[in-house]
Amino acid sequence: MNITILNGNPDERSPEFDRYLADLTSTLQARGHTVTSLTLREMDVRSCNGCFGCWIKTPGECFSPDDGHTIRRAVIHSDFTLWASPLRMGFPSARLKMVMDKSIPLIHPYFVVENNEAHHRPRYDHYPRLGLLLSAEDDTTADDVRIVSDIFSRTALNMKSRLEFAFLTDQPIDAVAQALTANQPGTVPFKHHLSPTNGVTIKSPQRLTVFNGSPRGRKGNTPLLLEKFLAGFNAIPGNTSEVFDLNRQHNTPLFTQAFADAECVLLGFPLYTDAMPGLVKAFIETLEVYRHRAGNSPIGFLVQSGFPESTHSRHVERYLERLAARLGSPYLGTIVKGGVEGIRIMPDNMTRKLYTGLQQIGQVFAQTGRFDADLLHALAKPEWYPSYLAPVFKLFVRTPLATFYWDGQLKKNGVYDQRFARPYAD
């Protein structure tokens, strides 16, 4: 077998994880397997900036001048890829997340219907089997591992594969090696459809500190949704808000201090490979200094995605609920909305209901100190499509109407004929 190990250990001063992977590599090689082990902290890996150039300008390839092409080539040519990382604030490292974000050139922007859900169309005929290896933090629970493995199971679906195991490094190396090379591989079970989480009610805040986690900064869709929420929040006399753009990573110390000084926090971001963007994970890791600090501000979240169904975001919502608990912050809930890609070019009659809903959520929050469950439910529709509509949905995604948004940009950039390019197929 050809095996690729992506080592997301961010800290060379914590060598135990590296030693475990080195021993695993030696074990696999001794059994005749070819292993490519990539230590991501030693590579030039840059954050995905959400430009979608890999879909609409250079189909199948990111034109960022970093080592992403080396990583993607190794992954697509492997029989098995192991995602490996210590947990940091309850989730794999920002370095590994950045690499996962930069894997989207390996799939297509067009949708297909799988498991009665929208997922991305494959770009290649072959994708590797997938596994997850984690090292625990002092407070890691079985729930933490399940939440992370659920998210990675969703990513595996979009990578046209499946997550075969999720192990901690307390597992014997031989057991991991056997799972990697099993003739009858297993699958990590996970529940596709989760219910929304429930937030708490707090005293109505007057000052809201908002973190915009869009890699596109103010040009993204996330700040547009946050703006509508704030229009409702700031409609109450005396209320104020301040927005920080996390893509300006040179200002990270300012962001961390803003969190420390906040009366109430709202963190918004787009769904990137079924979780938060890498730059948002990097920000979350900076908050570790405030872990369980007495008096941390209440925190709520907004997650938007291009998938039409909100169910895709419910697994990362479970992580966000745990993140609030990790920080010792009252959890306000998560605003979830799918089908957001392209809203900037939509006519007013197509966005009016969405924007009005967000304003109502913001205003009710300002008045009552809670994210109203009924308003959240109405905004999130469709949560998922019933199975009897799957045949209709499958027909729809094959129509020009379903591909119009991406086709238009491909044609504008003169690469429509290259839309199915496979640059790593050699």
Tell me: the pLDDT tens digits for 61-93? 998 889 999 999 999 999 999 999 999 999 999
Note whether residue 319 is domain-resident.
yes
- State the Rg of the chain over Cα: 21
CA torsion through residues 110, 113, 114, 116, sign? positive
Residue 228 lies in a domain: yes
Q: Is residue 396 part of a domain?
A: no
Banded model confidence at residue 363, pLDDT cuts 50, 70, 90: very high
Kindly state whether residue 85 falls inside one of the protein's structural domains: yes
10 Å Cβ neighbour count for 400?
7
Q: What are phi and psi of 49, to 5 degrees?
A: -100, 10
What's the pLDDT score for residue 4? 98
Given this model, what pLDDT does residue 241 score?
98
Q: Is the pLDDT of residue 396 over 80?
A: no
Model pLDDT for residues 295-353, shown as the tens digit of each residue = 899 999 999 999 999 999 999 999 999 999 999 999 999 999 999 988 888 888 888 99
Strands annotated E in 71-206 = 80-88, 91-92, 107-114, 117-122, 129-135, 163-168
Start-end of H helices in 49-172: 53-56, 68-76, 94-101, 142-158
Is the residue at 55 inside a domain?
A: yes
Say which CATH number the domain at 343 has.
Answer: 3.40.50.360
Indicate whether 375 belongs to any domain: yes
Residue 394 lies in a domain: no
Do 217 and 167 lie in one domain? The reply is no
- d(CA 214, CA 320) in angstroms, rounded, equals 16
The answer to whether 124 and 425 are in contact (CB under 8 A) is yes
Same domain, 157 and 283: no
Among 101, 344, 322, 94, which Cα is nearest to 227's? 344
**Across residues 379-404, what is the average pLDDT?**
82
The answer on 211 and 167 residing in a single domain is no
Asked whether the predicted pLDDT for residue 409 surpasses 80, the reply is: yes
DSSP sequence for 313-374: GHHHHHHHHHHHHHHTPPEEEEEEE---TTGGGS-HHHHHHHHHHHHHHHHHHHHHSS--HH
Q: In one letter, which amino acid is 243?
A: V
What is the residue whose two structure tokens read 């872990």? 291
Residue 379's pLDDT band, with cuts at 50, 70 and 90, is very high
CA 424 to chain centre: 24
Report d(CA 127, CA 362) in Å as an integer. Answer: 43
Distance CA 368, CA 352 (A): 24
The predicted structure's pLDDT at residue 348: 84
CA angle (131, 137, 143) in 5-degree steps: 65
Residue 129 is encoded by which pair of tokens? 């089997």
Provide the residue range defining the domain that includes 124.
2-180
pLDDT at 106 (0 to 100): 97
Q: What pTM value is reported for the model?
A: 0.95
Q: Is residue 233 part of a domain?
A: yes
Q: What is the mean pLDDT of residues 371-384?
A: 96
User: What integer best gives the mean pLDDT of the chain?
Assistant: 94
Structure tokens, 137: 């933090």
**Residues 118, 307: contact at Cβ < 8 Å?**
yes
Same-domain check for residues 216 and 174? no
